[in-house]
Structure 1
């Protein structure tokens, strides 16, 4: 319709970069969940279109966000049992995505999307209850104590 999506992609990239620069730590975690979920949804779309190269690229992107963004940011000392549980869950999600890629099974990706969505919802719920300069796991611990 517009010929090339390059301008749209560039606009989107600048929007994300601007959001990252201005975001507090809580918002950054939400953005990571959004990015991983978007990559997963796009992977399913490419899987259904039998575009296996792009499917693989999107699954790799989702795994990178989960592993290098969410999992790597965990502070297991400060986060205790919650951080340890999140670490295991992030590892599980990465494994499921890896298997989805090998088996071309969109249901495995949908499972990860649901898990990411649940975590994102919890993050958004606790975001309003905790000061923006706390770490991810201090927020989770405060939320867990309040529940």
Structure 2
């Protein structure tokens, strides 16, 4: 994950911040696996707690008026948070890998939706510019 200044974070949309949270959660989970494999259980504990905190924040940030997708994401966040707690107690790498698998699927879908949204926004700006240009008179030199 790249270094982000506080100013850069304030310039991000809520959708971009969500993508950053997904990435940070995945980083923490992968770090936890590495620490478990090296028998550094205190460090693994910290990384798993960080991942759980991120999952909780993702759940709090949902807009439930968005409909069934928000409800389904909430259920997935809660499931993953429960599995992270279980993995932290048992230091079970397979459980962490399960969470990584689910979160990777969500992350790739989220990022794909962001790309489509950005593309649609760029097309919208082009259409607005084209509409404006139709009404501009160019004087001959």
Question: TM-score normalised to the size of structure 1?
Answer: 0.74
**Is residue 61 of structure 1 aligned with residue 63 of structure 2?**
no
After TM superposition, where is structure 1 displaced by more than 4 Å over at least 4 residues in a row? none
Q: Alignment partner of 1:94: what SS?
A: helix
Alignment of structure 1 residues 63-102 onto 2, 5 Å: 63-68=52-57, 70-76=58-64, 78-102=65-89
Q: Which residue of 2 aligns with 1:145?
A: none
Pick from 87, 106, 115 the counterpart of residue 119 of structure 1.
106
Cα shift readout 1:76-126 (whole Å, capped 9, x = no counterpart): 1x2211111110100000011111111110011111111111111101111
Q: Name whichever of 44-53 and 19-28 sits farther off.
A: 19-28
Q: Distance in 2 between matches of 1:46 and 1:120?
A: 23
Q: Alignment partner of 1:130: what SS?
A: helix
Q: Alignment partner of 1:128: what SS?
A: helix
**Is residue 129 of structure 1 aligned with residue 116 of structure 2?**
yes
Q: Structure 1: any 5+ residue segments left out of the alignment?
A: 1-11, 132-147
Deviation (angstroms), 1:128 = 2.4
CA-atom RMSD, angstroms? 2.0
Cα distance change, pair 19–39 in 1 and its aligned pair in 2 (3 A): farther
Pick from 20, 29, 36 the counterpart of residue 31 of structure 1.
20
Across the two proteins, how many residue pairs are aligned to each other? Answer: 119
Deviation (angstroms), 1:33 = 0.2
Q: Structure 2: any 5+ residue segments left out of the alignment?
A: 119-141
Q: Distance in 1 between matches of 2:66 and 2:97?
A: 28
Cα shift readout 1:122-142 (whole Å, capped 9, x = no counterpart): 0111112336xxxxxxxxxxx
Question: TM-score normalised to the size of structure 2?
Answer: 0.77
Q: Which has the higher contact order (CA 8 A, sep 6+)?
A: 1
Larger Rg: 2
